[in-house]
Structure 1
Amino acid sequence: MPPPRLCLEALSALSGCDVELTVGTSQLSPQDFVNVVALKEFYKQEGFKQLEYPSLGTMSLLDQDQDQDQDQDLYSSPGALTEGPSTAGPEESLRAKMKINPGDFFHQQYDYDFTQVTDGDKTFLRGNESYVRPCGWSRVALRVTQRYDSGDAWLGTGKDAWPVSYHGQNMDGSLGIIATHKGSPSDAAPKFLEAAAAIAVAGETRGRGVYSTPDVKMAEKYCRKFKSKVDGKTYKVVLQNRINPEKRQKCQREDVWLVYVPKGHNDVQTRAIVQESIRPYGLLLKEA
């Protein structure tokens, strides 16, 4: 396992929160953490300024790209935003603090070093669907076993397991903007992302929701980067999840999945959809 403080830096980069070490109980569970990451991206897409989350309070959605490398901020949401789920407090300087105890948040027993692994033509399945392992990355396991009433079958390798998806974070914002893009072709985003969003704007989905991908290479293109104060190196960070196959919409491209959030849903309903649909189990790190 990488140094705990490096892992907390990675959590800070993903969440836009100041993640601090504690010897007490972690303020959030891994499930709460992925909820925060996904909801911040979703509400930012929707044009909100702030997100209210239990135990964290009000978080700004305006400053979460400040630490990004310039080339990773090509598809950030525009500056003029409407009122968000919460209107309390200052609008541009709310950076929530999150206290995490590595002992109850991470599960070192299931860490796996893929940095020197190459799978070649090998194939792997999770939930009878292809699993592209994160070769080249180091996986820090999250403590998620025996945390759900339905048991741990979702985390296994059998037919009841959920497929694997990767959350590159910025991918959500880019696809959301493309799905509602009305500019000229000259200022449109890359063609492959337009194709990915094409099915999302058809029928009843209209691209409104949380995006992830079964392809770790695609997630890497939209991942967060951060420079560690622990060793001075720059890292990429991605969340490795399992996604509920009954809640997932497949887009035109096989490597883009959408968890749809219907219009009219309030904050509690939206959070429930994310919690029922996406479960994290790994924090992936890779030197940039």
Structure 2
Amino acid sequence: MPNDQLCVEALSALSGCKVELTTGPSQLTPQDFVNIVALKEFLKQEGFKELEYPSLGTLSVQDYDEQDMYSSPPALTEAPTELRTTVKINPQDFFHPQYNYDFTNIKDGNTTFLRGNEQYVRPCGWSRVALRVQQKYDGGDGWLGTGKDAWPVSYHGHNMDGSLILTRGADPKDDEPTFLDAAAASIVTGETRGRGVYSTPDVKMAQMYCKKFKSKVDEKTYEVVLQNRINPEKRTKCQREDVWLVYVPQGCNDVQTRAIVQESIRPYGLLLKQV
């Protein structure tokens, strides 16, 4: 399993911050990290350049490798250290090793798993570092379980811009002429209108938009994705079944938008895959 130093490198790649280990209390929680990743992408879609985040101040929503964001594979460069906000985390109160799981060599085949009475596509091929999120939310831990109160699993890649997903996400071999029409319709009709935070129940979809970084620990290259649970009452399914949206209404201020994300998406795993 990835060690703590590799994990902070992954968190740095996801958030755009310089994440460091400390023996003191963590400066941010796992929920803060999913907030930052989701809000930066949302604000970028809305045309903003900065995110104001409590305890951190002003964060740029642009990647320093932005010119390569749409290329494949993603760029491996990172922001100069002096330009990034430093965040300190204590692995003792941030990670939960008891629930780590190595899916690297697992193949589920036709086996079906459920979470929240919906199909759970396990992240086969990835290593999951568990985040310490038990007893951190009002209402207990039912959202994290397998019972009737459990929330479905979703995955979030670093660059999950809805317009990119809906136009790039199709199978290149699929010549269905209605796909782009359906994608466009999902942006402008109903309650979605494309405005909000995107995630997916399919880890392969998230991988298409994930962050890639070269580790200073072992000089190897990794991909990183967040594994979350999503509130089914706050989620809207787009016309593509593998794209989910948490809708953010027009007129919401920063505090309201952050509250919507916190009520809708809760992280519980940091996924890493060597490439």
TM-score, with length taken from structure 1? 0.85
List alignment gaps of at least 5 residues for structure 1.
Answer: 75-92, 180-187
What does residue range 248-267 of structure 1 map to in structure 2 within 5 Å? Answer: 248-267=235-254
Residues 208-236 of structure 1, C-alpha deviation per residue, up to 9 Å, x if partnerless?
00000000111111111000000000000
Aligned residues: 260
Distance 2:183 2:9 in 1: 31
Residues 115-172 of structure 1, C-alpha deviation per residue, up to 9 Å, x if partnerless?
011101100000100000000000000000000111000000011100000001212x
Answer whether contact 1:163 1:245 (CA < 8 A) is retained. yes
Give the aligned residue type for 1:4: D
Q: CA deviation at 1:200?
A: 3.2
Answer whether contact 1:164 1:242 (CA < 8 A) is retained. yes
**What is residue 60 of structure 1 aligned with on the other side?**
60
Give the aligned residue type for 1:155: L
List alignment gaps of at least 5 residues for structure 2.
Answer: 76-81, 172-178
The alignment status of 1:123 with 2:87, answered yes or no, reads no
The alignment status of 1:11 with 2:16, answered yes or no, reads no
Distance 1:287 1:231 in 2: 11
Distance 2:185 2:65 in 1: 26
SS state of the match for residue 62, structure 1? coil
Give the aligned residue type for 1:114: F
**What is residue 176 of structure 2 aligned with on the other side?**
none
**What is residue 72 of structure 2 aligned with on the other side?**
71
Give the aligned residue type for 1:71: S
Distance 2:168 2:120 in 1: 28
Answer whether contact 2:74 2:211 (CA < 8 A) is retained. no
Distance 2:24 2:184 in 1: 43
**What is residue 26 of structure 2 aligned with on the other side?**
26
Answer whether contact 1:142 1:282 (CA < 8 A) is retained. yes
Give the aligned residue type for 2:158: Q
Distance 2:184 2:202 in 1: 16
**What is residue 106 of structure 1 aligned with on the other side?**
95
Answer whether contact 1:126 1:156 (CA < 8 A) is retained. yes
What does residue range 123-272 of structure 1 map to in structure 2 within 5 Å? Answer: 123-171=112-160, 173=161, 175-176=162-163, 189=168, 191=170, 194=180, 195-196=182-183, 198-272=185-259
Answer whether contact 2:169 2:205 (CA < 8 A) is retained. no
Answer whether contact 1:68 1:225 (CA < 8 A) is retained. no
What fraction of aligned residue pairs are identical, expressed as a percent? Answer: 74
Q: CA deviation at 1:198?
A: 3.2
Provide the aligned C-alpha RMSD in A: 2.1
What does residue range 70-89 of structure 1 map to in structure 2 within 5 Å? Answer: 70-72=71-73
List structure 1 runs of 4+ shifted beyond 6 angstroms. Answer: none
Answer whether contact 1:72 1:222 (CA < 8 A) is retained. no
Answer whether contact 1:209 1:258 (CA < 8 A) is retained. yes
Answer whether contact 1:17 1:95 (CA < 8 A) is retained. yes
Give the aligned residue type for 1:199: S
SS state of the match for residue 103, structure 1? helix
**What is residue 183 of structure 1 aligned with on the other side?**
none
Q: CA deviation at 1:259?
A: 0.2
Answer whether contact 1:137 1:285 (CA < 8 A) is retained. yes
